[in-house]
Amino acid sequence: MNELQKDADWWRGAVIYQIYPRSFQDTNGDGVGDLAGITLRLDHIARLGADAIWISPFFTSPMRDFGYDVSDYCDVDPRFGRLADFDALVVRAHALGLKVMIDLVLSHSSNRHPWFIESRASHEGARANWYVWADPKPDGTPPNNWLSIFGGSAWAWESRRCQYYLHNFLASQPDLNFHEPAVQAALLDVARFWLQRGVDGFRLDTINFYMHDAELRDNPALPVEERNDLTAPKVNPYNHQRHVYDKNQPENIEFLRKLRAAMEPYKAAAVGEVGDSQRGLEIAGEYTRGDDRMQMCYAFEFLSGKSLSANRIAEVFKDVDAVASEGWLCWAFSNHDVVRHITRWSLTEDAAKAYTLLLMCLRGSVCIYQGEELGLPEAEISFADMQDPYGIEFWPEFKGRDGCRTPMVWQSDNGSGGFSTGKPWLPVPAAHLGRALDRAEADPEALLHHYRRAIALRAAHPSLRKGAQTGMAAVGDVLSFERAEGSDHLFLAFNLSPAPERLTLPEGRWQPLGADLGCAVPTGGTVALGPWQAVILTHIG
């Protein structure tokens, strides 16, 4: 067991491997991945060097949004197995030195959850106020102008109550009312249920959506020049509003304190997803400041379509220093909601290696998404094969999330990549088969081995896991900075371009690291950086 696993502060600087269970490994031939499949493949993640796994939702669900619409928070959907399968997964993960984090979707449930079925039945009753209900305007239209991320109004009519209910996502995902104390208590009980089963923490879906403005005030318009596509595609009118009232409410922090208190006896940690195009980093800083809120949050700065240039990275960390310096960020380049970064940034193999090493050297924790260690590009999914309701709604300008959710490829010698003996729920692209794990293992130059070495470098240096980050600068296409923790002091520079560069090194006695990662070796007080090459120096004396 490595040092991160023994440390109550294990989450700080940890490398977390995200698993999308539908697409990881199928063991019963139904074409859908399952918990037993995850257990079967945990050795791969442990060998990669990750400290923890994050499992996307596997709870009972009608699967309108593939598990992000929960109908029973305390059970496993039969598609994925049983609670006993989850328990076995936890035992095996812990035996391999891996922490287990699960994806809690607390802001909303499925409309098939018993809580919602009871709430919609009547204005009276114990759960009448458990969801966000509102009367129509006198003309019958929704109570305000709030919009759903999945398109259209965020309000749906319910004839049983003759009221609208709030849904920030699909109409089948009604928002829970966090202004109701009983709702908070029930969700804290959900967290305790899984903590008692041995989980080590949570990824908290849409953490800034929990609370809404109790007065239901209209959101103001957002000027055209301020719009971006960090949290919704450009074609979505959701980007036309400044989301002042439908999320990001200050009362949310008090609930986060309660959740942190519930987690503390288990030394568990949480990483929150902050979905906000205007204030993402600021909110992440607010939610992770001090020792009574969440341990980590991530925003969408490195998950957007913007090119990740040296200047862009320096600008992001300048903003972090300004609004989140007292908090802790978690960085990712890919996940289950965005185009895979190999495709999004049009990366060559050398460029992908440079960005991988960079990710492992930045201050914060790290999430990596299944398949990125194989260099999987975004899959092209035909409309006929599409499953994602988000993509179906905005096709063809936005093709949804299916392209990053295709099955993991383990073997190159069969059509499903070793994922399933049946027909996979999404097609496995032929282009992915050439990057299957068995091929990568046999190729010493494969990206897989680079990931292992980069993660090992991070694990070997306290400065990279938990240390300070100073002096970040972008000169042309070269990004440089220093990391320090105690006597471990590193200087790092990355040439993020296909052209060679020369860099003057800081004064002092330095020794080069990272020969196995292709890092450059200085000559005198300068270093020649080849295309997509880094230099890493450790201070001596």
In the residue annotation, 413 being an active-site residue is answered as no
Q: What is the distance of C-alpha 69 from the center of its chain?
A: 17
Spatial distance between the Cα atoms of 37 and 385, rounded to a whole number of angstroms: 23
**Which single residue is written with the structure tokens 């990669």?**
48
Indicate the residue type of 213: D
| Burial class for 455, CB neighbours closer than 10 Å (0-12, 13-18, 19+) | buried
Q: Is there a cis peptide before residue 396, judged by omega within 30 degrees of 0? A: yes
Q: What is the dihedral of CA 68, 69, 72, 74, to 10 degrees?
A: 10
Per 3-state DSSP, what percentage of the chain is helix, strand, and coil (rounded to 5)? 30, 20, 50
The active-site residue, picked from 69, 273, 372, 501, is 273
In the residue annotation, 273 being an active-site residue is answered as yes
257 — phi, psi (to 5°)? -65, -40
The active-site residue, picked from 158, 205, 213, 402, is 205
Spatial distance between the Cα atoms of 446 and 375, rounded to a whole number of angstroms: 9
Strands (E), 344-420: 365-369
CA-atom Rg of the chain in angstroms: 23
Cβ of 96: how many Cβ atoms within 10 Å?
A: 16
Burial call 409-435: b when 16+ CB within 10 Å, e when fewer: bbebeeebbbbbeeebbbbbbeebbeb
287: left (phi over 0), alpha (psi -120 to 50) or beta: alpha
Please name every residue paired with 504 in a beta bridge, in sequence order, or none if there are none. Answer: 526
Spatial distance between the Cα atoms of 501 and 478, rounded to a whole number of angstroms: 8
CA distance to 132, 247, 338, per residue, from 467 (Å): 43, 33, 29
Which parts of 19-111 fold into alpha helices (H)?
Answer: 35-48, 83-95
Which parts of 74-113 fold into alpha helices (H)?
Answer: 83-95
Q: Name the residues annotated as catalytic.
A: 205, 273
